[in-house]
């Protein structure tokens, strides 16, 4: 992929934010409705503990297991509570393009700073032309100049990767709209190529393991599920003023991430949130997910104790 000068000149127009974004967890009550009080409390905690913004309703937030009305309601409850919608990049992708348009339009009208959008993911092996058309039709369907679109590349879930030439074409045709990409593939080469060939295009890895690398390469930061827990430490990595300091902090951050990855990720994060908040509502997951077993929960907490130690509050010590 070789970008021409005319394309590169278009990239910086959307002015994407930089920093640490949490792919926010979603709490459910006994009827599997959103527990708004727990949701709002968690959003405030994240913003007060190092997050530059929130990305709700993505994979970690179980957004694709919720009906459209529930996703809209979750976003509105955060906005009505006074949380800063300009710092929101909600997941608005859907298997049906019409649902994605509705969700994305609602996010824009609510004042969200961006929308994180999957390619339509039910039908496999689409052509590059088909993937481009899906995003182009979404932009045209929303029909709002305020839209800032973040492409969501997570091929291990969707089985629909977003090819680099499609990204170039979208930037070329919608330079004021297409602002960045979340790369949850776990393949650093994919992000590194985008950063090298499209300098100024905001790339956010889906794991904070890549945080110091993406910062040095000029990327946007990260949008990560484990930031629901690691926000204070991830923020220190991103704010580090020297490579040596960043590397020291990154090593500890990596160790925490690897512990959590040793269990089913969303269930592990919800167990940690339930433990640290004292609120058992966080242990509920939407099917097909299930909570951790007692044995797995005990093993997870023991491993975190070994890596981090406990703070006086009873939670884990997250400041290095």
Q: What percent of the chain has pLDDT over 90?
A: 91
Please tell me the pTM assigned to this model. 0.95
Total structural domains in the chain?
A: 1
* Residues 134-173 pLDDT 10s: 999 999 999 999 999 999 999 999 999 999 999 999 999 9
The confidence score (pLDDT) of residue 21 equals 98
319 pLDDT above the threshold of 80:
no
280 domain residue, yes or no: no
96 domain residue, yes or no: yes
Burial of 201 by CB count in 10 Å (0-12 exposed, 13-18 middle, 19+ buried)? buried
* Residues 69-78 pLDDT 10s: 999 999 999 9
| pLDDT confidence tier of residue 312, bands split at 50, 70 and 90 | confident
What is the rounded average pLDDT of the residues 81-109?
A: 98
> Which residue range forms the structural domain that includes residue 28?
5-242
| pLDDT confidence tier of residue 45, bands split at 50, 70 and 90 | very high
| Structure token pair of residue 123 | 């039908």
304 domain residue, yes or no: no
| pLDDT confidence tier of residue 2, bands split at 50, 70 and 90 | low
| Structure token pair of residue 104 | 């994305």
Residue 182 among the catalytic residues: yes
283 domain residue, yes or no: no
Active-site entry in 121, 132, 150, 182: 182
Domain holding 105: CATH number?
Answer: 3.20.20.70
Cα(31)–Cα(18) distance, integer angstroms? 37
What is the rounded average pLDDT of the residues 279-288?
A: 97
256 domain residue, yes or no: no
311 pLDDT above the threshold of 80:
no
Active-site entry in 150, 152, 190, 204: 152
Contacts for 114 with CB less than 8 Å, ≥ 6 apart = 16, 88, 89, 148, 149, 150, 179, 180
89 domain residue, yes or no: yes
233 domain residue, yes or no: yes
75 domain residue, yes or no: yes
């Amino acid at each position: 992929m070789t970008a021409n000068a005319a394309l590169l000149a278009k990239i910086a127009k959307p002015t994407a934010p930089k920093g640490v974004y949490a792919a926010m967890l979603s709490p459910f009550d006994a009827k599997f409705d959103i527990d708004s009080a727990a949701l709002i409390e968690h959003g405030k905690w994240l913003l007060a503990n190092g997050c530059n913004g929130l990305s709700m309703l993505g994979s970690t937030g179980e957004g694709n297991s919720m009906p459209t009305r529930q996703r809209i309601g979750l976003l509105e409850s955060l906005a009505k509570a006074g949380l800063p919608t300009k710092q929101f990049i909600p997941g608005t992708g859907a298997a049906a393009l019409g649902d994605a348009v509705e969700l994305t339009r609602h996010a824009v009208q609510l004042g969200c700073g961006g929308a994180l959008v999957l390619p339509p993911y039910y039908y496999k092996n689409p052509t590059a032309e088909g993937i481009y058309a899906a995003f182009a039709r979404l932009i045209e369907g929303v029909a709002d100049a305020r839209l800032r679109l973040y492409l969501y590349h997570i091929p291990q879930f969707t089985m629909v990767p977003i090819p680099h030439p499609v990204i170039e074409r979208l930037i070329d045709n919608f330079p004021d709209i297409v602002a960045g990409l979340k790369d949850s593939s776990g393949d650093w080469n994919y992000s590194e190529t985008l950063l090298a060939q499209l300098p100024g295009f905001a790339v956010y890895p889906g794991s904070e393991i890549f945080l110091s690398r993406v910062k040095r390469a000029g990327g946007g930061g990260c949008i990560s599920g484990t930031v629901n827990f690691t926000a204070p430490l991830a923020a220190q990595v991103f704010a580090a003023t020297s490579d040596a300091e960043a590397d020291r902090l990154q090593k500890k951050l990596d160790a925490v991430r690897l512990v959590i990855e040793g269990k089913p990720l969303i269930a592990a994060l919800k167990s940690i949130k339930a433990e640290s908040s004292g609120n058992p509502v966080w242990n509920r997951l939407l099917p097909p997910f299930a909570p951790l077993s007692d044995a797995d929960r005990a093993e997870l907490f023991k491993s975190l104790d070994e890596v981090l130690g406990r703070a006086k509050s009873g939670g884990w010590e997250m400041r290095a």
